[in-house]
């Protein structure tokens, strides 16, 4: 297969290769052209996130199954990734491999999602097992790093194995000189569901715990929500930080204005956004992505 030539022309061919030539997935991953440097000249990253369905989280706003169609999600991802200002993707293995076969990740930064075992709404949600990539698989797949969700709940014993696994992932990725992107939340059970403390104090406490995990923090990055008093949050760390988008609860204009303000803070290195850009209210993915890119770069 010539360099930069997609292994699959369409979704039917992706399915065919998965059935008859599964070894092509690893070959395509090894052949994928990576960036020479993680950060571009301006030191900022615009990353599209697409690991939500792997945790049973298909909802966007008032649409509970918005992300259920895999081909529609892949369509939207390819539109987003085609924007030259989009630096890369954060995804689960299934999505990353589909897009690799389709040739959509050439020259992009790619982070593999590692723990998706804490299924949304499950009684074991906070015992967030590492059911996806591990550090060796991320290296073998020619990716740039791994991302994991680390929710810290003092009222749930599932927090402890999650913290232990997160620390191990940081150490193992660092041995490979790969980025460990940790997404911490200070969480609790309330009314039978997990809620996050999105006050500045809550986010700072989650940062304090998360940034101390592992045998070294040389390759640790943070993925944090944008909250009120974000200036105080960012004073709690020197680690490179990307801002997450989450499920949109305000108008696009309000959301973009909030991101713009937070992007001016020290240590903030860009955005990692999924549903807000992939499923905007007007379904114009290209326009939403273009606006976010203009804020980052």
Q: Give domain status of residue 213, yes or no.
A: yes
Split at pLDDT 50, 70, 90, the class of 4 is low
Classify residue 209 as exposed, middle or buried by CB count within 10 Å of its CB (0-12, 13-18, 19+). Answer: middle
pLDDT of 52:
95
For 216-270, what is each residue's pLDDT tens digit? 999 999 999 999 999 999 999 999 999 998 766 778 888 899 999 999 998 999 9
Distance CA 60, CA 167 (A): 31
pLDDT of 247:
67
Q: Provide the domain limits for residue 31.
A: 11-296
Task: Give yes or no for residue 7 having a pLDDT over 80.
Answer: yes
Q: What is the CATH number for 60? A: 3.20.20.70
DSSP secondary structure string, 60-116?
BTTBTTTT--HHHHHHHHHHHHTSTT--EEEE-HHHHHHHHHTTTTTT-EEEEE---
**Beta partners for residue 225, in sequence order:** 244
Distance CA 153, CA 205 (A): 11
Q: Give domain status of residue 2, yes or no.
A: no
Q: Give domain status of residue 130, yes or no.
A: yes
Query: Can you read off the two tokens belonging to residue 172?
Result: 């193992």
Split at pLDDT 50, 70, 90, the class of 192 is very high
Average pLDDT taken over every residue of the chain: 95
3-state secondary structure at position 150: strand
| Residue appearing with tokens 């723990």 | 115
Q: Give domain status of residue 230, yes or no.
A: yes
| Phi, psi angles (nearest 5°) of residue 74 | -65, -40
For 26-40, what is each residue's pLDDT tens digit? 999 999 999 999 999
Q: Give domain status of residue 194, yes or no.
A: yes
Q: Give domain status of residue 5, yes or no.
A: no
Q: Give domain status of residue 3, yes or no.
A: no
pLDDT of 1:
46
Split at pLDDT 50, 70, 90, the class of 3 is low
Task: Give yes or no for residue 93 having a pLDDT over 90.
Answer: yes
Q: Give domain status of residue 218, yes or no.
A: yes
Distance CA 2, CA 293 (A): 31
pLDDT of 250:
75
Domains in the chain, number = 1
């Amino acid at each position: 297969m010539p360099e930069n030539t997609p292994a699959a022309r369409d979704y039917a061919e992706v399915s065919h290769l998965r059935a008859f030539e599964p070894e092509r997935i690893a070959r395509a991953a090894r052949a994928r052209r990576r960036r020479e440097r993680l950060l571009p000249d301006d030191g900022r990253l615009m990353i599209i996130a697409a690991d939500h369905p792997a945790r049973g989280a298909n909802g966007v706003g008032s649409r509970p199954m918005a992300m259920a169609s895999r081909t529609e999600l892949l369509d939207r991802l390819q539109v987003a990734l085609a924007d030259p200002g989009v630096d890369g993707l954060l995804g689960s293995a299934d999505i990353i491999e589909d897009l690799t076969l389709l040739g959509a990740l050439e020259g992009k930064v790619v982070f593999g999602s590692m723990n998706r075992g804490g299924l949304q709404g499950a009684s074991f949600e906070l015992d967030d097992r590492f059911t996806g990539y591990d550090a060796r698989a991320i290296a073998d797949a020619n990716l740039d790093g791994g991302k994991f969700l680390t929710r810290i709940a003092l009222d749930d014993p599932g927090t402890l194995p999650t913290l232990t696994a997160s620390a191990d992932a940081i150490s193992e990725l660092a041995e490979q000189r790969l980025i460990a992107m940790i997404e911490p939340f200070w969480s609790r059970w309330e009314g039978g569901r997990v809620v996050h403390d999105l006050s500045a104090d809550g986010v700072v406490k989650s940062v304090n715990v998360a940034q101390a995990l592992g045998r070294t923090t040389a390759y640790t990055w943070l993925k944090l929500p944008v909250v009120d008093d974000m200036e105080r949050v960012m004073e709690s760390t020197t680690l490179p930080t990307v801002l997450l988008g989450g499920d949109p609860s305000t108008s696009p204009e309000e959301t973009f204005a909030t991101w713009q303000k937070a992007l001016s803070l020290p240590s903030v290195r860009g955005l990692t956004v999924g549903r807000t850009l992939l499923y905007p209210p007007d379904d114009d993915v290209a326009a939403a992505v273009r606006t976010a890119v203009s804020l980052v770069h």
